Amino acid sequence: MTDTHDPGFAWDLAKSRERRTKRWSVYGPDVLDLTVAEMDLPIAEPILTVLRDAIERQTFGYPIPAARSGLPETTAKWLTETHGLTVDPGEIRLLPELMKGITNALREFTAPGSAVIVPTPTYRSFFGAVSLADREAVQVPLLDGHRLDYDRIDAAFAAGAGSLLLCHPANPVGRIFSPAELRQLAEIAERHGGRVISDEVHAPLRYGVDFVPYAAVSEAARRQAVTLFSASKAWNIAGLRCGFVALTNPDDVVRWDRLPGAASGGISPLGMVASAAAFEHGAPWLERALAFLDANRRRLADQFADAGMPEVYHPADATYLAWLDLRRLGLADPARLLREKAGVAVTAGPDHGTSGAGFVRLNYATQPDVLADAAARIIQVLE
């Protein structure tokens, strides 16, 4: 369906299916797959331009060393200008994907065997990254579903946890934590000598709410922080395998550079040029995409409200992910019911932590007619 407010974003499901990526390749044609965090939108032209050029040049070998690529400089400038996190290019390191960065940080910067505090609900792959680092995840549910529980976080650090894994903005609830909240977290971590690993990949996808990186809220936070980010979510290029870590503690840079190549290798040269294009020339496209997504999230909220179910969805600060409260069904995992009875595939709430029982995550980065159809199907099940 064409977005009449922005003809440049004309798109339909047939085009998304032709991509042959995970988003529309798992279920049959009768199922609306709103699980995978990809967008049913055309890719930004500046990114396509550099990729076409790279393909014509047959850029399929091993990537150029990051220090000679100019990408750390581009990335540091983007972080400073868009997020207010001042970093030196020498503090930026590249990764093929962010979960590898989490595992590396836990292994290198925390004591062996120390537990990892994970505020939940959170990105489900966090648990696998923690396990791969031979650590135990200590889940601390968000209060009222969106506020950090400082008392339980303090107690977990006191009991021996060495780090906290923060999703900021939070996936799936879409919350952006305020500088005051983050400073309070930093004070707790500082008191216990803890580290905070902050996944900030969704930071560009925000709706009029200020975002401040964890590492930028205080000097203590800057020392504690390992900041992970990429262009993958905001510019819809997750398959290009290029992410970043900002190491704002000088000692971390030294330790990171001792890692073997296998710990961070696998970066795609196509991902490198695409990321540079996104950071340098992708802002106009992102602004249009955010307007499109903002309209979708409002439509979704209105549709549930018009059906007499306003409690199901409240538009959040950031991301293109809706955290739907389906506890009225009385099921710990209503995702299976929606897939079988409504033909709508969503992510199971318990996958995001024990506090996700009764909830599902829905990706609304799709065309308005698809979203309206999915919401109508869900409402029918709820009724």
91 — phi, psi (to 5°)? Answer: -95, 0
Across the chain, what does the average pLDDT equal? 95
Are 167 and 122 spatial neighbours (Cβ–Cβ below 8 Å)? Answer: yes
- What is the reported pTM? 0.94
Whether 8 shows a pLDDT value over 90: the answer reads no
Are 286 and 235 spatial neighbours (Cβ–Cβ below 8 Å)? Answer: yes
Q: Give 61-92 pLDDT, tens digit per residue.
A: 999 999 999 999 999 999 999 999 999 999 99
Is residue 91 left, alpha or beta, with left meaning phi > 0 and alpha meaning psi from -120 to 50?
A: alpha
Q: Which CATH superfamily is domain 7-45+283-382 in?
A: Aspartate Aminotransferase, domain 1 (3.90.1150.10)
In the chain, domain spans: 7-45+283-382, 60-281
Distance CA 150, CA 181 (A): 9
Distance CA 102, CA 268 (A): 19
Whether 94 shows a pLDDT value over 60: the answer reads yes
Fold type of domain 60-281: Aspartate Aminotransferase; domain 2 (3.40.640)
Residue 4, pLDDT score: 42
Nearest residue to 340 via CA among 350, 348, 351: 348
Q: Give 335-382 pLDDT, tens digit per residue.
A: 999 999 999 999 999 999 999 999 999 999 999 999 999 999 999 999
Q: How confident is the model at residue 1 (pLDDT cuts 50, 70, 90)?
A: very low
Are 46 and 285 spatial neighbours (Cβ–Cβ below 8 Å)? Answer: yes
Q: How confident is the model at residue 7 (pLDDT cuts 50, 70, 90)?
A: low
Cα dihedral 20/338/318/238 (nearest 10): -20
